[in-house]
Amino acid sequence: MSMALRRTLRTALPALAAASALALTGCTGGSTANPSPSETANPATSTIDARPTPASSTEPARNIPVPELPEAAKQNTKEGFEAFVRHYISLLDYAYQTGDTEPALDHAGAGCTMCGTSAKSIDAATAAGGWIIGGRLTLSGFSTDGIPDANGLWTAEVELHQTETSNVSQSGSVSALAPAASATVLATAEYANGRWSMSDLGVPTEAHQ
């Protein structure tokens, strides 16, 4: 991968860019199912459904676990770099499902503009009590020369697919943000102080030879 490619300008994924322009107001809560007669008669025996449940048009996602950092992603190697990038994408996917952007931000470098843009887009769609439907991210391809540059930055071309993204407002109305899309993304990360951090992530807007 050439140094010119590493310097290519970037933009966010289509759904991220669309979400950043959305502003919501008010607050809302998920619908509550009516208890069954047995649960009403004997509350002590009722149980809470702890199964991971994706968001729907009537309620936000529930019980979605935070992806755990794999051991491989702790190593300062080519394999560790790939494992970290895959983990970071899983954290973005988690953020779309839950609105919780903190885990992804915790693995973003201070200079990662796109990391902050992604978080702000998701926060804008969920801060007022709304939630996101879809926007699921899948990493289908990863390519890197496995050689950090003079500044210690590792770069990879990543093939991502994002499902159709919609938003549910506090009033319960559903609005489409972006259709499903696939893109080649440049992911740049740095290993310092015993851990990886994402330095840049986005879709190239210019082609360099």
Tokens of 188: 């740049």
The pLDDT, as a whole number, for residue 31 is: 38
The pLDDT, as a whole number, for residue 198 is: 98
Q: Side chain identity at 2, as an amino acid letter? A: S
The pLDDT, as a whole number, for residue 11 is: 53
Other beta carbons within 10 Å of 191: 19
The pLDDT, as a whole number, for residue 12 is: 54
Tokens of 183: 């893109």
The pLDDT, as a whole number, for residue 16 is: 46
DSSP string, 9-55: -EE--HHHHHHTT----S------PPPPHHHHH-GGG-----S-B--
The pLDDT, as a whole number, for residue 127 is: 82
Q: What is the Cβ-side half-sphere exposure of residue 4, based on CA atoms within 13 angstroms?
A: 4
The pLDDT, as a whole number, for residue 25 is: 26
- Of the candidates 122, 142, 141, 120, which has an alpha carbon nearest to the alpha carbon of residue 131? 122
What pTM did the predictor assign? 0.79
Q: For residue 190, what are the β-bridge partners?
A: 153, 197
The pLDDT, as a whole number, for residue 77 is: 97
Q: Side chain identity at 197, as an amino acid letter? A: S
C-alpha separations of 184 from 143, 148, 205 in Å: 10, 20, 11
The pLDDT, as a whole number, for residue 140 is: 95
- pLDDT averaged over 10-residue windows placed end to end, the chain, 209 residues: 38 47 32 43 65 94 97 97 98 97 96 92 89 95 96 97 93 88 95 97 63
